[in-house]
Amino acid sequence: MNNAHIRRFIGTPEAVILADGDYPQHPLPLHYLDSVPVIACCDGAANAHIAKGRRPSLIIGDGDSVLPEHRAAYADILYIEREQESNDLSKAVALLVSRNIRNILILGATGKREDHTLANISLLMNYHRRQIRTLMLTDYGLFAPFSNIARWQSPVGSRVSVFNFGAKNLVSRGLEYPLYDLEEWWQGTLNTTSAPEAEVSADGDFLLYFALGGR
């Protein structure tokens, strides 16, 4: 998808969560970092964000990774959660939901340790099932969770991958390679759109990944 299509798909997030993976470099995630009014930084991500000359609205985590000077300077927006049952992303989502924010764009959630990347991606489905809209935008693509049906517009030839989260009867329209009931993560990757509107339908939940790029 091109940037305009991705922006239309994302719409207007109420808040950004900046996780502590790779700090965004692509103009599109940076646009949201500079325009969304609430930027909730997961722990160490606050250091990177401040180092880039930006200011977090909230800092959430177990607090161990926030630099001591920031911990003092940002004490009024620092939320320390020491419990170990959830990761920093989950803590950030919980804090935003407690403020009635349920339309969230997650940035910085990939890169660095790959086990964190996998956890963060799968949490999207978790939030989706709780009626919290979380999309994950990286320097390379957009992850979006769906139930039963996904329909989207994008230039013909846009690259898309489908990850099944237990759904049955997967069917596609407007994709070059027809879908089936994917059992392994690699099976739904590297598809492309063959029509300006494409559709995936299924009984259950799945995740789409739209690659950023010219198409």
Q: Which residues contribute to the site for its own copies (CB under 8 A)?
A: 84, 87, 110-123, 125-126, 138, 140-141, 143, 161, 163, 184-186, 189-190, 209, 211
70/90 with CB nearer its own copies: 90
Cα separation, 165 vs 188, whole angstroms: 12
Collapse the DSSP code of 23 into the 3-class scheme (helix H, G, I; strand E, B; otherwise coil) and give the result: coil
Cα separation, 57 vs 45, whole angstroms: 12
The per-residue b/e assignment along 102-141, b for 16 or more CB within 10 angstroms, e otherwise, is bebbbbbbbbeeeebbeebbebbbebbeeebbbbbbbbeb
47/138 with CB nearer its own copies: 138
CB of 118 to its own copies, least distance (A): 5
CB of 112 to its own copies, least distance (A): 6
123/175 with CB nearer its own copies: 123
32/74 with CB nearer its own copies: 32
Helix (H) or strand (E) segment spanning residue 210? strand 197-211
CB of 145 to its own copies, least distance (A): 12
